[in-house]
Amino acid sequence: MDENILFAFALTLFAGLSTGIGSLLAFFTKRTNTKFLSIALGFSAGVMIYVSLVEIFVKAKDALVSEIGMTNGYWATICGFFGGMLLIALIDHAIPAIGNPHEVKSVEDVDAGPSSEEFQKLRKMGMFTALAIAIHNFPEGIATFTSALQDPALGVAIAIAVAIHNIPEGIAVAIPIFYATGNRKQAFKLSFFSGLSEPIGALAAFLILMPFLNGIVFGIVFAAVAGIMVFISLDELLPAAQKYDEAHLSIYGMMAGMAVMAVSLVLII
């Protein structure tokens, strides 16, 4: 069990610190590979949607049904699923657009620079942007950790999907901080360390949930994880992928993500 916990923490750390890759892309590449970005984001969405609805939701329902019966278990699963959606929606709503890491940006935006009206706002909110991404990534850390703890192979797939979607978030965080400070190194550091909120979320799950982790708690948390990941996919990943879409590449990427996840689940059984 100790090895599983360490492995789950390692996966969460990997997923969270992928924001640093986005920061590096923002400062050390000349142009965004839009085709690859569209496919990658679509792939990540496909993995998250498929595994949430086919695997995680079902495991949550089975756990709750076995604990509190068919009808109550199904209702608890539904409440947990939409409760997870509501949680991540409220977090998104609380983050102003100017500091919202889901406002898609490309590496070309580093050179474009802000308008004169935007500069003062960005300067005031530079540090807040790092806080915003940290707050948003916290429940993602819980989702990755609990999934990996329950099923390590499933955790790997989720961690990879989260890492892919954290890369453009890293770009989105680094750019306004760079505008606010004029310092590329500081922008990279703040963006990189903002990803630490995911392993912190895992630590919170370990300290708070683990002592009470029975069938009911597990089922509700897992249902909420499914809701969080479906919301992220529909609200963030697919719209971001379609911004750079060419010839339905994002949809093909999503289909590929679903297919890879489906085959992986069959091979795991």
Phi, psi of 33 (to 5 degrees): -80, 90
Torsion of CA 261, 262, 267, 269, to 10 degrees: 110
> According to the annotation, is 117 in a ligand binding site?
no
CB 15 within 8 A of CB 164: no
> According to the annotation, is 183 in a ligand binding site?
no
CA–CA distances in Å: residue 46 to residues 24, 115, 131: 26, 36, 28
> According to the annotation, is 214 in a ligand binding site?
no
> According to the annotation, is 236 in a ligand binding site?
no
Torsion of CA 209, 58, 84, 196, to 10 degrees: 60
> According to the annotation, is 72 in a ligand binding site?
no
C-alpha to C-alpha distance for 134 and 147, rounded to whole angstroms: 20
Supply angle C-alpha 241, 244, 246, rounded to 5.
105
Q: Which residues are annotated as a binding site for Fe(2+)?
A: 137, 140, 166, 169, 198
Binding residues for Zn(2+): 140, 165, 169
Residues marked as binding? 137, 140, 165-166, 169, 198
